[in-house]
Structure 1
Amino acid sequence: MKRHIRTRAALATVAALVAAGTVTAGVSFASPEHKAAGVKQTKQTGKPSKAEIAALFDGWNAALQTGDAEKVAARYAPDAVLLPTASPKIRTDHAGIVDYFEHFQQKKPVGEKVQSVVNILDHDSAIDAGLYEFHVTDPKTGVKSTVGARYTYEYEKRGGKWLIINHHSSVLPAEG
């Protein structure tokens, strides 16, 4: 009997730590195993789960691969700021964001997260920062390459929809 109670108490503790985001039971928030676990908003806080925020990148990446810059730009708030990987210009409006992606999509980019750190700020805002790679194809030569970069996505839930309000991406520097 005591053993059964201790087991239930241990499981309850682990479940609470997982829900709080302090323990992931060895599973990355971006991993298929974590997504398959069906982690949703916690009922206690109403905040989004780390998995929900991490998955927003998958939607962005899918829009990127359509080749339609408008679909990518639609994932950004009207007042979003984009500091893109492959341009020295800061993009602060819809037209500028579309312009950037029209050029970037010519390389047929496919993004892949390498490492992700998600911070839930409150019910309607979160940050996903980490490392990702883009597999790109030179439109003139057809040569394929991979570019490593750092990223930060700041999300805000507006009108029931998660939008990017700040996106910074920069080429990963060489180790020093």
Structure 2
Amino acid sequence: RPDAVVGHSQGEIAAAVVAGALSLEDGARVVALRSRAITALTGRGGMVSVPLPADEVRTLLPEGVSVAAVNGPSSVVVAGDPAGLETVLASVERARPVPVDYASHSTHVEEIREEILDVLAPVSPRTASVPFFSTVDAQWADGAGLDAGYWYRNLRRTV
């Protein structure tokens, strides 16, 4: 039994299930229906891994590209429009494309907000039995607030 859990992006769903904040059924619902909703964004965006500190990366980003995830002190993923991502790839040595054709954790996700809120409305979060650290809110959470809005923010905000 873990002393505490934390997850990264979609991994936060698994962490919520392990913490007892979501039932296994609700965790599967969030994964499957959110993943299905994001298919509406395919072909119009992407993601690129950049081996630089987040503050430095932010100064290099063209319009239409934003920081999607800060994975470590010198490990950032950016997401957004294909043309902007090409600019990042051309200007940053060792930047590498992530093999996806959509832009999670970017403004692109706002297009599917209402669908996500609708399909995840049945999710019934509960108080966690294992301490759960929210990467959405950057604080410990009791789990009761892990509703449809939370899982939308998890997909939209920077990790």
Q: TM-score, normalised by structure 1?
A: 0.22
Instruction: Give the strand-richer structure, 1 or 2.
Output: 1
Q: TM-score, normalised by structure 2?
A: 0.24
Instruction: Give the helix-richer structure, 1 or 2.
Output: 2
